[in-house]
Amino acid sequence: MYSSPFLDLPPFRAATGVVRLPGSKSISNRILLLAALAAGTTTVHDLLDSDDTRVMLDALRALGCEVAQEGATLRIHGLDGQLRTRQASLFMGNAGTAMRPLTAALALLGGDFELHGVPRMHERPIGDLVDALTQLGCRIDYLGNPGYPPLRIHPVPPDMLALDVPIRVRGDVSSQFLTALLLTLPLVATRDVTIEVVGELISRPYIEITLNLLARFGIDVRREDWQRFTIPAGSRYRSPGDIHVEADASSASYFIALGALAATGDGLRIEGVGATSIQGDIRFIEAAREMGAQVESGPNWLRVARGAWPLKAIDLDANHIPDAAMTLAVMALYADGPSTLRNIASWRVKETDRIDAMAAELRKLGAAVEDGPDFIRVHPLPAANWRAASVETYDDHRIAMCFSLAAFNPAALPVRILDPHCVAKTFPDYFETLFEVVEPLDIPVICIDGPTASGKGTLAVEVAHALGYHYLDSGSLYRVTGLATRRAGLEPDAANEGRIAALAHGLSLQFIKGQVVLDGEDVSDAIRTEAAGMDASRVSALPAVREALLSLQKRFRRLPGLVADGRDMGTVIFPEAPLKVFLTASAAQRADRRHKQLISKGISTTLDSLRADLEARDARDSSRSVAPLKPARDARRLDNSQLSIAQSIEQVLDWWQDVQPFKAS
């Protein structure tokens, strides 16, 4: 999961392979609450692991619910409708699927509770739900702006609740208000309890999910059209025992769109959800087909390929797929005419005002966009009009994910996604999953070369972390190869050159937070011994080994990008890299740094001997017949003799920004 301030996506040209989707957020949090309220133990399989589900689990544990986790499986021991904790302050983050139903459950179960969240949660309306609960006799106070969280819930005896008249709730702002009542009113259904919806009910497919899951937990709600719902007297939650969470159909929309834009060969296979899903957003398939996508479906899979190109413009009432419809707005950039999404007023009360946000970010890309209270119209974007842009995500996971599709633009421009970590709300590994199936036009590389003890390793690690890029410590490769050679029982000499080269070519090597990891083992210390250094020198003299390691180094060039440090990264390995830095410092300064480093490890040495050794090594490295140490012709020189690490990092990041076609927001 990327925690960098921004993530630069290079232009993509194709997509193929298999995508396994995470569990549905909507289903996950409903199941968690129902399992907690039910009698018995529920084993939950394939639960989504995300910010929103963690918020719900933390709240349930705080309320006394016992949750045991075994790998990807959760075992929840239900409360049978009785809280074990009667007073608590609960943090709800920005999880509407936790905030709304827990508000209803706690108001009905009795107790003294405060519910609060992040600032955006305190801007998301909850007044219609609170109004419905106060009709029953629940006591709820607003602790900030009326109609919005945070809330204070006061205990009310169950026999004081007014269940003999229909409970009226608005349905035209968010279906989560009705869902919250449906999920929790069985707690107090000593008689038939009726809910009446005021106005048109939006997002009906989400209510279908709620009714389906209630039935799995023993509650059979009677529905009259979409205006009246009755919970039978004597209803009681019963655990189904085992229950599986479907993969998220909303998340599927990004990969369905990906297939429509760029799938090649056999298309893109999406596993975990099929056309028979209980989730309403699976109807995104219909809209994608209308735009020209070719979609096949099986019991738990989809296969998508490009059909019509350019895509066909659509005019769609998107009320039934409010979350997935955002993906259509980006697909519209690749259409043959303007596309209009209507009846999407609910976008304005989601994680952000999604109509305003989508319109603003689409315009940054160069698109002409019209928008109103409940619609957005997006005009296609010719190649000549595309602009490289830094996309603001507003802490909204769906904006980050759907705008990743802009990397397929015909102008071959990169796209910067600000705050990529926001995808953790529903799909923490979204970008990693995307990178597994897309084919980029190019993968950016930053080369940091320089003499021994110049600090290039420390600098490269920090720059890679800041950009969310992979890191290559080329200087450790011969040492790792020497270590692997010894462990394989081979003598590092010419007699074993072929076997050592094959070993080097297949090294399973990672560089993680300054550690050198070989086959899952941290070998950072093992490769720094005197014996390891001697073995490194011997294997480096073998031409086949050098060729194998050249190939290995190039394989480190993976999405979203690479920062490589060494002595010949910019001159030999990645000569086409858009940014090459030659880092240096005076021999005296480098000797002083090395001296402090060795002294801290208890190794006795002198400054004079270190300086002499460094100067001699510089001379040898600069005069090598193979890949001598020298700056690449277009390298930017950075003398860090008088710079702190932070200043050096800032300078390299500034240079990186200089070679990008967009500016940071």
Q: Which of 244, 264, 288 is the last residue of a domain?
A: 244
Co-location of 366 and 458 in the same domain: no
Is a pLDDT exceeding 50 seen at residue 474? yes
Q: Is 513 annotated as a binding residue?
A: no
Q: Which of 244, 272, 306 is the last residue of a domain?
A: 244
Q: Is 174 annotated as a binding residue?
A: yes
Q: Is 457 annotated as a binding residue?
A: yes
pLDDT at position 588: 76
Question: What is the spatial distance between Cα 267 and Cα 587, in angstroms, rounded to a whole number?
Answer: 56
Question: What is the spatial distance between Cα 654 and Cα 577, in angstroms, rounded to a whole number?
Answer: 16
Q: Among residues of the chain, what percentage have pLDDT more than 90?
A: 85
pLDDT at position 589: 76
Cα-based distances in Å from 508 to 13, 124, 488, 523, 554: 28, 48, 14, 12, 14
Q: How many CA atoms lie within 13 A of 515 on its CB side?
A: 9
Q: Is 203 annotated as a binding residue?
A: yes
Co-location of 569 and 431 in the same domain: no
Q: Is 364 annotated as a binding residue?
A: no
Which band of pLDDT confidence, cut at 50, 70 and 90, is reported for residue 626?
Answer: low
Residue 261 DSSP code: H
Q: Is 456 annotated as a binding residue?
A: yes
pLDDT at position 665: 45
Over residues 334-349, the pLDDT tens digits come to 999 999 999 999 999 9
Give every strand in the sheet of 515-518, ordered side by side.
Answer: 509-512, 515-518, 521-522
Element (H, E) at 308: none
Amino acid 194 reads T
Q: 436 in a domain, yes or no?
A: yes
Co-location of 82 and 174 in the same domain: yes
Over residues 223-247, the pLDDT tens digits come to 999 999 999 999 999 999 999 999 9
Q: How many CA atoms lie within 13 A of 519 on its CB side?
A: 9
Q: Is 490 helix (H, G, I), strand (E, B) or coil?
A: coil
Q: Is 454 annotated as a binding residue?
A: yes
Closest CA to 251 of 437, 352, 402: 402
> Is residue 314 within 8 Å of 375, Cβ to Cβ?
no
Co-location of 565 and 452 in the same domain: yes
Co-location of 502 and 447 in the same domain: no
pLDDT at position 70: 87
Measured CA angle at 572 (ends 566, 574), to 5 deg: 80
648 contacts: CB under 8 Å, gap ≥ 6: 455, 459, 583, 638, 640
Q: 112 in a domain, yes or no?
A: yes
Q: Is 3 annotated as a binding residue?
A: no
> Is residue 427 within 8 Å of 126, Cβ to Cβ?
no
Cis preceding linkage at 310, omega within 30:
yes
Handedness of CA 504, 508, 509, 515 (dihedral sign): negative
Show the domain range for 463.
443-469+560-665
Over residues 358-396, the pLDDT tens digits come to 999 999 999 999 999 999 999 999 999 999 999 999 999
> Is residue 562 within 8 Å of 467, Cβ to Cβ?
no
Phi, psi of 192 (to 5 degrees): -55, 130
> Is residue 409 within 8 Å of 11, Cβ to Cβ?
yes
Which band of pLDDT confidence, cut at 50, 70 and 90, is reported for residue 324?
Answer: very high
Measured CA angle at 172 (ends 169, 174), to 5 deg: 80
Co-location of 281 and 310 in the same domain: yes
> Is residue 52 within 8 Å of 426, Cβ to Cβ?
yes
pLDDT at position 625: 66
Largest CA distance in the chain: 93
pLDDT at position 497: 95
Q: Is 366 annotated as a binding residue?
A: no
Q: Is 655 helix (H, G, I), strand (E, B) or coil?
A: helix
Which CATH number characterizes residue 454's domain? 3.40.50.300
Residue-level length of the chain: 665
> According to DSSP H, which parts of 283-337 are helical?
284-290, 325-331
Q: Is 251 annotated as a binding residue?
A: no
Q: Look up residue 643 and give its two tokens.
A: 């710079």
Co-location of 291 and 144 in the same domain: no
Q: 511 in a domain, yes or no?
A: yes
Which band of pLDDT confidence, cut at 50, 70 and 90, is reported for residue 470?
Answer: very high
Measured CA angle at 420 (ends 665, 465), to 5 deg: 90
Q: Is 452 annotated as a binding residue?
A: yes
Question: What is the spatial distance between Cα 567 and Cα 617, in angstroms, rounded to a whole number?
Answer: 12
Q: Which of 508, 530, 551 is the last residue of a domain?
A: 551
Q: Is 26 annotated as a binding residue?
A: yes
Q: Computed over its alpha carbons, how large is the radius of gyration of the chain?
A: 29
Question: Which one of 323, 371, 449, 568 is the catalytic residue?
Answer: 323
Q: How far is CA 63 from the centre of its chain?
A: 29
The residue with tokens 């930017």 is 636
Is a pLDDT exceeding 70 seen at residue 663? no
Is a pLDDT exceeding 60 seen at residue 664? no
Co-location of 511 and 388 in the same domain: no
Q: Which of 183-192, 400-409, 522-531, 598-607 has the lowest mean pLDDT?
A: 598-607
Co-location of 149 and 288 in the same domain: no
Cα-based distances in Å from 138 to 153, 398, 434, 609, 621: 8, 34, 46, 80, 78
Phi, psi of 651 (to 5 degrees): -65, -45
Cα-based distances in Å from 77 to 41, 94, 254, 594: 4, 26, 35, 57
> Is residue 272 within 8 Å of 304, Cβ to Cβ?
no
Q: Is 77 helix (H, G, I), strand (E, B) or coil?
A: strand
Q: 390 in a domain, yes or no?
A: yes
Quote the strand ranges of 509-592, DSSP E: 509-512, 515-518, 521-522, 562-566, 579-584
Does pTM surpass 0.85?
yes
Co-location of 214 and 238 in the same domain: yes
Give the count of domains, the chain: 4
Question: What is the spatial distance between Cα 47 and Cα 33, in angstroms, rounded to a whole number?
Answer: 13
Residue 104 DSSP code: H
> Is residue 472 within 8 Å of 565, Cβ to Cβ?
yes
Question: What is the spatial distance between Cα 587 and Cα 604, in angstroms, rounded to a whole number?
Answer: 19
Q: Is 536 helix (H, G, I), strand (E, B) or coil?
A: helix
Which CATH number characterizes residue 310's domain? 3.65.10.10
Q: What mean pLDDT, rounded, does the chain reach? A: 93
The residue with tokens 């600000």 is 418
Question: What is the spatial distance between Cα 609 and Cα 630, in angstroms, rounded to a whole number?
Answer: 24
Q: Is 554 annotated as a binding residue?
A: no
Q: Give DSSP secondary structure letters for 67-107.
A: EEEETTEEEEE--TT--S--EEEEE-TT-HHHHHHHHHHHH
Q: 1 in a domain, yes or no?
A: no
Over residues 38-93, the pLDDT tens digits come to 999 999 999 999 999 999 999 999 999 999 998 879 999 999 999 999 999 999 99
Q: Is 4 annotated as a binding residue?
A: no
Which band of pLDDT confidence, cut at 50, 70 and 90, is reported for residue 222?
Answer: very high
Co-location of 256 and 397 in the same domain: yes
Cis preceding linkage at 543, omega within 30:
no
Count of beta carbons in the 10 Å neighbourhood of residue 530: 7
Q: Give DSSP secondary structure letters for 233-275.
A: TT---B--SEEEPPB-HHHHHHHHHHHHHHEEEEEEEEES--T
Q: 210 in a domain, yes or no?
A: yes
The residue with tokens 């021991």 is 77
Q: How many helices and strands, by DSSP H and E, does the chain display?
A: 20, 32
Co-location of 43 and 181 in the same domain: yes
Q: Is 323 a catalytic residue?
A: yes
Q: 13 in a domain, yes or no?
A: yes
State mean pLDDT over 250-259: 97
Q: Look up residue 203 and give its two tokens.
A: 């997002």
Closest CA to 50 of 323, 225, 251: 251
Count of beta carbons in the 10 Å neighbourhood of residue 34: 28
Q: Is 30 annotated as a binding residue?
A: yes
Q: Is 455 annotated as a binding residue?
A: yes
Q: Is 339 annotated as a binding residue?
A: no
Residue 340: strand pairing partners: 315, 377
